[in-house]
């Protein structure tokens, strides 16, 4: 899904106009300086949704993937209980059933999902879906670009 499609879906989901869903851009330093949407945010009445995009790629034609989605409700015990119940109903039994609740494909540690995969976490009144493979790819690209042989 492109950032523009994400913006449209958020507006449809919350029943608002698209101009209430804010986008944030910055030059893609590793992609020839073309502007790129790096984040999309919607916030109203203490409820917020943020989608972060990984804009760094070797190939400028690559699609811009979302690497993190954050959803938050105002804090109350009722909101915390409802968010936890909704997540369990939608995603099933958590892979890691401690705070924060976590859903993932692999968890070799009983208290933590393995790195290198998408992980859904539910805290008190916040839910986040993060795929750290994109962060690791970004760090590897930076290392590759900055790597130099010493000329002693």
**pLDDT (tens digit, 9 = 90+) per residue, 23-47?**
998 766 555 566 778 899 999 999 9
- Residue 114 inside a domain? The answer is no
Residue 120 lies in a domain: no
List of residues 6+ apart from 36 with CB closer than 8 A = 25, 26, 27, 28, 53, 55, 64
Order of strands across the sheet with 118-122? 22-27, 35-44, 47-53, 66-72, 126-131, 118-122, 101-103
User: Into how many domains does the chain fold?
Assistant: 1
Determine the Cα–Cα distance for residues 133 and 129; give it in Å rounded to an integer.
12
DSSP state of 46: T
CB–CB of 7/15 below 8 Å? Answer: no
- pLDDT band for position 19 (50/70/90)? very high
Within a domain: residue 51?
yes
**Domain carrying residue 31:** 1-74
**C-alpha span between 69 and 76 (Å, rounded):** 21
Mean pLDDT of 92-101: 93
For 85, half-sphere exposure in the C-beta direction (CA atoms, 13 angstrom radius) is 6
Inside any domain, residue 24: yes
């Amino acid at each position: 899904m492109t950032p523009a499609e994400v913006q449209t879906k958020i507006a449809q989901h919350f029943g608002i106009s698209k101009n209430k869903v804010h986008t944030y851009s910055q030059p893609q330093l590793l992609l020839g300086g073309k502007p790129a949407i790096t984040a999309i945010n919607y916030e109203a009445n203490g409820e917020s949704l943020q989608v972060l995009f990984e804009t760094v790629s070797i190939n400028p034609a690559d699609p811009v993937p979302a690497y993190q989605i954050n959803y938050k409700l105002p804090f109350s015990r009722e909101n915390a209980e409802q968010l936890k119940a909704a997540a369990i109903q939608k995603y099933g039994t958590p892979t890691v059933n401690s705070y924060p609740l976590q859903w993932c494909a692999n968890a070799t540690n009983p208290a933590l999902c393995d790195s290198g995969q998408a992980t859904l976490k539910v805290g008190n009144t916040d839910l986040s879906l993060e795929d750290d493979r994109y962060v690791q790819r970004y760090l590897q690209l930076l290392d590759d670009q900055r790597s130099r042989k010493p000329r002693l």
